[in-house]
């Protein structure tokens, strides 16, 4: 399973990338706003750090302008993925841009039917939002599982990119049901390493070696 980092914060991307934990990056207008930087400038810098796909989202809502924005965004770097919303206009933009050989991430997916439409429009990635479904008392993981099954049934090549990941349990569950990619905030990815028994065991080992008075260096 690939790990995409859901942030526009350069230092956080660099930290995880240096550990080999970054296969790509996803951004959106809200994350760009939090970074306080120009969308083109920060996207270009991210692309210079990460070799995998970097999702940059259009800001228009009509197909014609989305396509124009997408064509501008892909000029930033070869690894740009144009991110469009799951609307009819977004699917029109997806069809055109993917037909031109560009990667497209169709975002804000909340149903299997929507995911089927995105795959037929040539999406490189479909982004179902797990956490937001959980927020309204639906099981977001059911959607990931359903999309995986349908895509496998018909050989769709669109990759399932699980988004709105809130917890490490979400990541584990996505791996179980076969999501191709998860995108999560840096803090969630970093917290995957935490376990109280690891901490307890390490503390015991260190205490025992301290009693022997031995050192390696």
Q: Catalytic site residues?
A: 83
- Contact between 55 and 108 under an 8 Å Cβ cutoff? The reply is no
User: Cβ atoms within 10 A of the Cβ of 209, count?
Assistant: 12
3-state SS, 59-104, equals CCCCHHHHHHHHHHHCCCCCCEEEEEECCHHHHHHHHHHHHCCCEE
- Say how many CA atoms lie within 13 Å of 16 toward its Cβ: 28
């Amino acid at each position: 399973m690939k790990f995409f980092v859901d942030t526009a914060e350069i230092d956080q991307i660099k930290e995880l990338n240096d550990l080999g934990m970054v296969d790509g990056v996803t951004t959106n207008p809200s994350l760009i706003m939090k970074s306080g930087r120009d969308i083109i400038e920060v996207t270009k810098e991210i692309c210079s750090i990460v070799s995998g796909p970097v999702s940059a989202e259009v800001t228009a809502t009509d197909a014609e302008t989305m396509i124009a924005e997408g064509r501008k965004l892909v000029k930033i770097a070869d690894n740009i993925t144009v991110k469009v919303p799951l609307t009819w206009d977004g699917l029109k933009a997806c069809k055109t841009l993917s037909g031109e050989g560009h990667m497209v991430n169709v975002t804000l997916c909340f149903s299997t039917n929507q995911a089927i439409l995105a795959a037929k429009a040539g999406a490189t990635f479909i982004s179902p939002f797990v956490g937001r479904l959980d927020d309204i008392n639906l099981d977001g993981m059911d959607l990931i599982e359903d999309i995986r099954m349908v895509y496998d049934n018909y050989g769709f090549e669109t990759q399932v990119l699980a988004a709105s990941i809130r917890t490490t349990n979400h990541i584990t569950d996505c791996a179980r049901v076969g999501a191709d990619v998860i995108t999560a905030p840096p803090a969630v990815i970093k917290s995957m390493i935490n376990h109280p028994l690891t901490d307890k065991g390490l503390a015991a080992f260190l205490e025992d070696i301290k009693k022997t008075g031995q050192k390696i260096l």
